């Protein structure tokens, strides 16, 4: 309590570096705002992965009667003094503007259970006090280099939680820039603000896109199929919807001009017959996409810069497209 009353915060986040039997008083306004929005508070540091299963929360109550601070207890919406010793409920009940409520969060490091963290913040206090503060206490000896997180058995990468500032930078940049470019720029700017890996930036891009288009996340296969059926009669590209018992529907897409081109350039009677290639793409979306590809020998383009200018290659065109939700035909 004395630290809260007499000391000034040293910043908004825990500084990097060794932390052993030490504490920091920080400005906690970001977490106060998150709690007001019904979001979880974020307590970020560079110590590594903390064990959530071994973590706990407690609340401590003090009453300010003008002369001194007295510990009290709260149960079923009522305040007690030494309830465990059998004392009765306080009468009259103290006014809420005289109550100071501390929340304490305890956790142990996954790599070494003897290294612990305790975070204390004020969640209720009189107007004369500053509730935008938090004390971060680190007790014990840190094992040294952070260890892998432990949730992924295939990854042995050292885990350090990404700072809130880096998260905010990523969210701002992915709205106008491709994830790979964002990752490369942040890494080049310095390791202090670098994301963990490219996947983290890609996940941020997905999350921000979902916020802009919330209806897309609520759609399912039935919604997609209904949309296709509605477009089927009026679209020149959707040619056939195949529905087999026990399987999700699949769709065949092409324009009539594409079929004519395939017959023209891939037949044995063509002057320079093209091979009809078939390829299935993965991770393109919720469906597997199988495409056919052929060469349009009437349209030539220059090949590699290392080849003579007279060496021209035919352009590749996409033919029919087959959409399916299962890997088999």
Q: Indicate if 230 and 310 belong to the same structural domain.
A: yes
Closest C-alpha to 108, from 168, 153, 56, 147: 56
Q: Indicate if 200 and 239 belong to the same structural domain.
A: no
Domain that holds residue 118: 2-139
How distant, in Å, are the alpha carbons of 171, 195, 306, 312 from that of 188?
18, 11, 32, 39
Q: Indicate if 240 and 111 belong to the same structural domain.
A: no
pLDDT at residue 307 in the model: 47
In a domain, 149, yes or no: no
User: 246 burial class (0-12, 13-18, 19+ CB within 10 angstroms)?
Assistant: exposed
Q: Indicate if 70 and 51 belong to the same structural domain.
A: yes
Q: CA-to-CA distance for 198 and 124, rounded, in angstroms?
A: 41
In a domain, 243, yes or no: yes
What is the Cα Rg of the chain in Å?
Answer: 31
H helix and E strand count, the chain: 8, 12
Cβ count near 286 (within 10 Å) = 10
Which residues lie across from 57 on neighbouring strands?
Answer: 105
User: Looking at residue 153, what DSSP letter applies?
Assistant: S
Domain boundary among 80, 106, 139: 139
In a domain, 153, yes or no: no
In a domain, 146, yes or no: no
The angle at the Cα of 117, spanning 111 to 118, to the nearest 5 degrees, equals: 160
Q: For residue 35, say if its preceding peptide bond is cis, omega within 30 degrees of 0.
A: no
Q: CA-to-CA distance for 208 and 193, rounded, in angstroms?
A: 20
Q: Indicate if 231 and 271 belong to the same structural domain.
A: yes
pLDDT at residue 105 in the model: 92
pLDDT at residue 5 in the model: 75
Q: How far, in whole angstroms, is CA 308 from its chain's centroid?
A: 49
pLDDT at residue 29 in the model: 86
Q: CA-to-CA distance for 203 and 171, rounded, in angstroms?
A: 10
Total number of domains constituting the chain: 3
Q: CA-to-CA distance for 80 and 74, rounded, in angstroms?
A: 6
Model-level pTM? 0.58
Q: Where are the beta strands (DSSP E) in 65-131?
A: 69-75, 78-80, 99-109, 116-124
pLDDT at residue 237 in the model: 93
Q: Indicate if 200 and 128 belong to the same structural domain.
A: no
Q: Indicate if 16 and 127 belong to the same structural domain.
A: yes
In a domain, 45, yes or no: yes
Q: Indicate if 101 and 70 belong to the same structural domain.
A: yes
From first to last of its 329 residues, the chain has per-residue pLDDT tens of 778 777 888 888 888 888 889 999 998 888 888 888 888 888 888 888 888 888 898 888 888 776 678 888 888 888 888 766 666 788 888 888 888 888 999 999 988 899 999 999 888 887 767 778 899 999 999 888 777 776 766 667 777 788 888 888 888 888 888 888 888 888 887 656 688 888 888 888 888 877 776 655 555 667 777 888 889 988 999 999 998 888 888 999 999 999 999 999 999 888 889 999 998 886 566 788 999 999 988 888 765 444 455 566 788 899 999 998 877 66
Q: Indicate if 183 and 78 belong to the same structural domain.
A: no
Q: Indicate if 272 and 175 belong to the same structural domain.
A: no
């Amino acid at each position: 309590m004395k630290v809260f009353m007499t000391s000034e915060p040293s910043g908004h986040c825990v500084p990097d570096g060794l932390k052993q039997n030490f504490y920091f008083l920080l400005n906690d306004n970001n977490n106060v705002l998150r709690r007001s929005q019904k979001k979880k508070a974020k307590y970020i540091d560079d110590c590594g992965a903390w064990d959530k299963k071994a973590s706990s929360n407690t609340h401590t109550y003090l009453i300010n009667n003008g002369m001194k601070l007295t510990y009290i207890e709260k149960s079923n919406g009522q305040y007690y003094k030494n309830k465990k010793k059998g004392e009765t409920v306080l009468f009259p009940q103290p006014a809420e503007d005289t109550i100071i409520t501390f929340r304490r969060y305890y956790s142990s490091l996954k790599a070494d259970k003897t290294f612990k963290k305790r975070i204390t913040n004020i969640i209720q206090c009189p107007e004369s006090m500053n509730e935008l503060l938090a004390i971060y206490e680190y007790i014990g000896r840190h094992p040294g280099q952070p260890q892998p997180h432990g949730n992924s058995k295939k990854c042995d990468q050292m885990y350090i939680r990404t700072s809130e500032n880096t998260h905010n930078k990523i969210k701002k940049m992915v709205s106008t820039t491709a994830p790979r470019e964002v990752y490369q720029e942040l890494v080049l700017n310095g390791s202090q603000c670098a994301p963990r890996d490219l996947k983290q930036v890609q996940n941020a891009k997905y999350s921000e896109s979902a916020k802009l288009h919330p209806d897309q996340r609520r759609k399912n296969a039935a919604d997609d199929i209904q949309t296709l059926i509605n477009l089927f009669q009026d679209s020149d590209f959707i040619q056939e919807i195949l529905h087999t018992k026990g399987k999700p529907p699949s769709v065949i897409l092409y324009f009539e001009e594409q079929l004519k081109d395939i017959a023209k350039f891939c037949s044995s009677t063509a002057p320079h017959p093209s091979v009809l290639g078939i390829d299935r793409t993965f991770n393109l979306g919720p469906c597997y996409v199988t495409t056919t590809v052929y060469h349009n020998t009437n349209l030539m383009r220059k090949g590699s810069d290392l080849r003579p200018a007279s060496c021209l290659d035919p352009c590749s065109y996409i033919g029919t497209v087959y959409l399916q939700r299962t890997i088999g035909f």
